[in-house]
Amino acid sequence: MFNNKAVAEYLEKVNNREPSFLPEVCIEVFFEKASAPKLQGTGNKERSDACGVSFKVEFDDTYTDEYSELIRSGEKINTLPIEYYKISWSSFDRDAVTSRSIPIKSVLIDSTSSKYQNGSDIYISRIIKNDLDDSEKVKLSQAYRKMKDSFSEDDAVKVINNKIDGKSNVQGDHLRISVDLGSQNAWESSLMTYLGDIPFHQIGKGYQCIIKTNLALAHKKAKEASLLLIEEPENHLSHSKLNHLLKSIVDNSADKQVIISTHSSFVANKLGLENLILLNDHKVTKFTDLSKDTFDFFKKLPGYQTLRLLLCRRAVLVEGDSDELIFQKAYMDKNLGSLPIEHGIDVISVKLTFKRFLEIAKKINKSVAVITDNDGNHDEKIIKKYRDYHDSLHIKIFSDNRNHLNTLEPQFVDANKNNLIELCKALSLDIGKFNTAELLSEKLQTQKTSWALNVFESKITFNYPQYITNAVEWCNER
């Protein structure tokens, strides 16, 4: 659980005999004051008066002498000496607490778990077991024992056991086959769950996710919990099945707080943008922290790409399909045929909504490039429009500063004006009709995406506008 950078910094310093501090893990959970007044205090990293608990993995002072001896020995330390650590829980009023003394009860639902034992899904068996009354468990065990007894008394089984015992030649006890009689609750690992006539482990991952989540939401522990933690509900599900599952989550958790981890824009959209928390590079922001115009924009925009922006290593925002195709082709030419996404760089077409995405990128320190036309007015469309981002370390704006080359088509033709024959050949155009840069530019502006697709699929290496080349170089910076 330790941060790799913190561990590397510690190891470097301690082995160079520099002053060093052992890394620690501290997880703090804040509650509303009304829900946990006994946990109120200032014992948190913010030193604020709040209610909550701290979970710490830290150096145990009782090992001070042993650790000091390790340091004095001069032995090189290659890994964090976790044998000298302790784990502690405390409230913000600095009193020790246990998980039972925390008034907020939680349950974790991880529908991706798929461990099997003898064909029976342990996870779903455990859920069913936890939701049964003691009398129901006894009845189920009795029914299972009767089934085992009838198995042993079957004539065919008796004949087989006699044959096995005769061949075993073991003195004393007899060797035989039977059903497990060794534990009181053997039914938990022996009985198989069915959906209709199909064994649970064969019904498909999507149905398994839905059933596991619904059962987990319905059993007693979830009903008693005030906090539900759900791990990636989108796994293995189509949009329609996922929609069904999300409705179940919403319907069964009206009086609870639900925290869902997801990489699906569909999940985030269905559960409400106002609840979305974005995490990146130690930065945290909520959609409600954005300007009202930007929040309303993403709320209305179907199929928004916010999570794509968050999850990639770097993002390149373009205006439309032709810009996306030409940039990707330029990137491939410089990177041995590899697409940007193969290096963690997502190219996202955002129409004319660059600044909406840049507002998010600025808050979470996401590295983002903008590739845009100057529309014949570079000062107004680029310099003034993006003045808040020109000095940013994370955000770069790339555009052609020549006003007479106002869109991608004339810019691309200009970059290849000394080789119009090859360009026309790649675009399946008659060089006799389009033998000047002006004529070819006009033609491409009537074709839009189709000409860019021809360039993308061509085996020819083209020249690209300088601003696109600059954007590729920015992407290749590591």
- 9 φψ region: left (φ > 0), alpha (ψ -120 to 50), beta (else): alpha
Q: Which residues, in sequence order, are CB contacts of 44 under 8 Å at separation 6+?
A: 28, 30, 50, 52, 54, 92
- Longest Cα pair distance anywhere in the chain, in angstroms? 102
Q: What percent of the chain has pLDDT over 90?
A: 42
Q: Is the pLDDT of residue 415 over 90?
A: yes
Residue 190's SS3 state is helix
Lowest mean pLDDT among 116-120, 203-207, 391-395: 116-120
E strand or H helix at 331: helix 321-334
- Residue 123, pLDDT score: 52
Q: Is the pLDDT of residue 187 over 70?
A: no
Neighbours of 113 (CB within 10 A): 13
| CB-CB contact of 170 with 100 (8 Å) | no
- Residue 119, pLDDT score: 33
Task: Give the pair of three-digit tokens for residue 377.
Answer: 């007015």
Hey, which bits of 255-359 come out as E strands?
Answer: 257-261, 277-280, 283-286, 314-318, 345-349
The DSSP string of 369-438 is EEE---TT-HIIIIIITTTTTTT-SSEEEE----TTS-SHHHHHHHHTGGGHHHHHHHTT--TTT--SHH
How close are the terminal C-alpha atoms of the chain, in Å? Answer: 26
E strand or H helix at 169: none
Q: Specify the pairing of strand 257-261 against strand 345-349.
A: unpaired
Neighbours of 353 (CB within 10 A): 16
- Residue 326, pLDDT score: 96
Average of per-residue pLDDT across 246-254: 78
Q: Is the pLDDT of residue 126 over 80?
A: no
| CB-CB contact of 63 with 36 (8 Å) | no
Q: Is the pLDDT of residue 452 over 70?
A: yes
Residue 118 phi, psi (nearest 5): 55, 35
Stated pTM of the model: 0.65
Neighbours of 315 (CB within 10 A): 26
Better-scored residue on pLDDT, 390 or 242: 390
- Residue 115, pLDDT score: 46
Neighbours of 365 (CB within 10 A): 16
- Residue 148, pLDDT score: 73
Q: Closest Cα partner for 288 from 280, 297, 276, 301?
A: 276
User: What's the chain's average pLDDT?
Assistant: 83
Predicted confidence band of residue 120 (pLDDT cuts 50, 70, 90): very low
Residue 27 phi, psi (nearest 5): -115, 125
Q: Is the pLDDT of residue 172 over 80?
A: no
List beta partners, residue 364. Answer: none
Lowest mean pLDDT among 163-167, 239-243, 361-365, 464-468: 163-167
Q: Is the pLDDT of residue 447 over 50?
A: yes
